[in-house]
Structure 1
Amino acid sequence: MKFSVDRDVLAEAVTWTARSLSPRPPVPVLSGLLIKAENNEVSIASFDYETSAKLKIAAEVFEDGETLVSGRLLADICRSLPSAPVDFQTHDSKVYLSCGPAKFNLAAMPVSDYPELPGLPEVSGTADGAAFAQAVSQVIIAASKDDTLPILTGVRVEIEGPTMTLLATDRYRLAMRELSWDPADPQISTAALIKAKTLNEVAKTLGNAGQLKIALSDAHELVGFESGGRRTTSLLVDGDYPKIRSLFPEQTPIHAVVRTSELVEAVRRVSLVAERNTPVRLAFSQGQLALDAGTGEDAQANEVLGAQLTGDDITVAFNPVYLSEGLHAFGSDYVRFSFTTPPKPAVLSAQQEPDGDENREYRYLLMPVRLPQQ
């Protein structure tokens, strides 16, 4: 195999594909990238039995062939190469790279030992990549990072015709986002539990490439994404996701509207004195919101903002990290808090005007920290 390619093109392609490599591959060959050159095109692929990634780049191919080489090492080398065309060739069991004055030779692994990559399932529909990426970023903040609860490390994707709903929870908060997409079958009704890590990678690396193809296998075992000549597949998380939609209250007699940017900054400042597991208290009353943190002889902070309250005065306390992450997920000028009673979860939603309508496209439910008097 022998080909020549632009250094930036190769470096970006190798880096993207290597992101899917497992840090602890089950067998040595799965630490490698499978590189195949033919018809003035080079394909680069990775696979770890759970996740696969593959892309194609244009190159000047002088000799067809394929090889398997350490992915992380190749990525490190490509990122360090000078700005010049890269000549890539194989001979016997060696891979040779030359780029300007830099030259490397690497040991190749046996291609015959590499497992066959899973194919992309039949495309179920397409979504705007940027809109999908935004929806994912809003929801994955609530996915659990505790691997002892693998089901909660996933994001449940529910599809009913042209509406896709993403849901995630770590038991202390819940995020739900609805978005429109273009299904191949207008009557489609299905659901899948996808790893939050997979969705995060898709959002970051494929979200800006235009239309995103989404493929769900009929056997509900595999999900695939494809955009801009790149594709990735992942096994779905196995298990029954909790029925969390019912946690959103049907009636919320108390509502408060606050300017998002002001609240984000106030929470950031006040939480500086909130030590580990110490909540930030929010006291809503007519016309204002008082924030405070810290108790007793410890450091304390407080701040008062303007707020519009409908219903009774209410005081609640939240984990400052969960509150801050939720607020940052909103792109609206105002955020709306909806309450039933202080010990019950609060629902955050977007609002463009203080007297405007609530936008329920994205909702973030947050469990309060119980205050002593409650």
Structure 2
Amino acid sequence: MRSSRVEELITIGALARASGLTASALRFYADCGLLTPAEVDAATGYRYYTPSQCERAVLIRRLRGIDLSLEAITEVLSAGPDRAERLLDAHVAELARRAKAAARVAAQVKRALGAGRGVAVPAAELARAIAQVGTAAASDDSALVLTGVLVEAEATALTLTATDRYRLSTRTVPLRDGGDEWSAVVAVAPLAALRPWLESIDEVVLTPRASGIALASGDTEHRCAGIEEPFPDYRAVLDGLAAVRTRVLVARAALLDLLETAADDSVVCAVDESGLALSGAVTATRLPAAVTGAPMRLAFRSTVLRPAVASAIGPDLMVDLAASDQPVVVRSATDGDLTTLVMPTSIPSTEDHDR
């Protein structure tokens, strides 16, 4: 007969049921010193444990479930709370890094095997491109295709382009691994709605679908509906731009502030060697600017020029002028990859102002 102390012990089978581990796993952990039985019957070899050892067994099962090595489990269980927390945080960070690397490799292999025509891009860069280009899309559906964004996948980059006929914005985002060439026009609203999600992830894969595109990261996939109309030939517009006669480098924030407070929707910009003068219906303000080339005077609708300035990034704008009736090219001086064309309007006459 076993002593009263032995009567308080539980068998390996009971511990297995209580902890969710198998008996063979418990024997393995006993043999490696991770969970030693409280008592082993010398005659039968039966292993007995105390009920309090069930908590340690459960911890071992959970730690093995997140791929912690036996050595690391021993270190975590023997450490104080602060050190155990640091060890676990480091392990989870490594798991996240490996998961991202695995997802990237899987995407590469799927593309190599022809499992998809997806292209991988940095998600945050794509979110910024959507914000910068999307404002140039039309807000009404009189020409449905102009309410969309043209998404073009090429050998090394993804290009986003939008235009409402008065503005045209185009921006490229580098691909991480290359991919097939394809294009699709997608509605701007659902694409813009994905920006918070894109800003929260590292990489996104875009794949053309029967109608529109899919954007995927891990197990999450979003669909953006397509627009089945031909997009305007914006490259012909860019290639057909007249030669630049005047280049202006101006502080973006100062110009934007003036446009936000413009007294009239029509503003006139006059540039010469002394800077840039911006006038509305009543007031005129001069901004410091570096001007290269001939003096020029142009008029714009502020509701057209303002979004082009607001969507640019960096502290400075580079503005290329060809003539008072030709598209103006607005670029971020620190990010020449973003290009926006703004159409000027006819210059209001003095008589118009006096009426």
The TM-score, its normalising length taken from structure 1, stands at 0.59
Q: 2:237 matched to 1:247?
A: yes
CA distance in 1, matches of 2:267, 2:236: 27
Q: Distance in 2 between matches of 1:307 and 1:289?
A: 6
Conserved? CA contact 1:258–1:308, under 8 Å: yes
Q: Determine the C-alpha separation between the residues in 2 that align with 1:343 and 1:224.
A: 40
Distance in 2 (alpha carbons) for counterparts of 1:373 and 1:244: 32
How far 1:333 moved relative to its partner? 1.8
1:203 to 175, 195, 198: 195
Asked if residue 327 in structure 1 is aligned to residue 309 in structure 2, the reply is: yes
What amino acid maps onto 2:311 in structure 1?
Answer: A
CA 1:170–1:192: 2 relative to 1, 3 Å: same
Separation (CA, whole Å) in 2 of partners of 1:212 and 1:191: 17
* Aligned counterpart, 1:285: 272
Higher helix share: 2
Counterparts of 1:264 and 1:367, CA distance in 2: 17
One-letter amino acid of the counterpart of residue 240, structure 1: P
* Runs ≥4 residues deviating over 4 A: none
Instruction: List gaps (5 residues or longer) in structure 2.
Output: 1-114, 351-355
Cα distance in 1 for residues equivalent to 2:242 and 2:153: 22
**C-alpha distance after superposition, 1:179-227 (max 9, x if no partner):** 1023563xx222111111121012233332221121113xx42311123
Secondary structure of the residue aligned to 1:142 is coil
* Aligned counterpart for 1:261 among listed residues 245, 253, 256: 253
Aligned-pair CA distance for 1:250: 5.4
- SS of 1:182's equivalent in the other structure is coil
AA aligned to 1:221 is S
Structure (1/2) with the larger strand percentage:
1
Extract unaligned runs of 5+ from structure 1: 1-120, 295-299, 353-358
Structure ID, larger Rg? 2
**What one-letter code is carried by the residue in structure 2 that aligns with 1:286?**
E
Instruction: Work out the CA distance in 2 between the residues paired with 1:205 and 1:267.
Output: 31
Q: Secondary structure at the match of 2:309?
A: helix
Distance 1:134 1:203 in 2: 8
CA RMSD of aligned residues (A): 2.0
Name the counterpart of 2:344. 368
Map Cα deviations across residues 149-170 of structure 1 (whole Å, 9 max, x no partner): 1111110111211211111001
Mapped to 2, the partners of 1:247 and 1:372 lie a distance apart of: 26
Contact 1:316 1:368 in 2 (8 A): yes
Match of 2:116 among 112, 122, 125: 122
How is 1:1-374 mapped onto 2 (pairs within 5 angstroms)?
Answer: 122=116, 124-183=118-177, 185=179, 188-217=180-209, 220-227=210-217, 229-248=219-238, 249=241, 251-269=243-261, 271=262, 273-274=263-264, 278-294=265-281, 300-352=282-334, 359-372=335-348
Q: Give aligned-pair identity as a percent.
A: 23
In structure 1, how many angstroms separate the alpha carbons of the residues matched to 2:344 and 2:122?
35
TM-score (norm 2): 0.62
**Per-residue deviation, 1:229:** 4.0
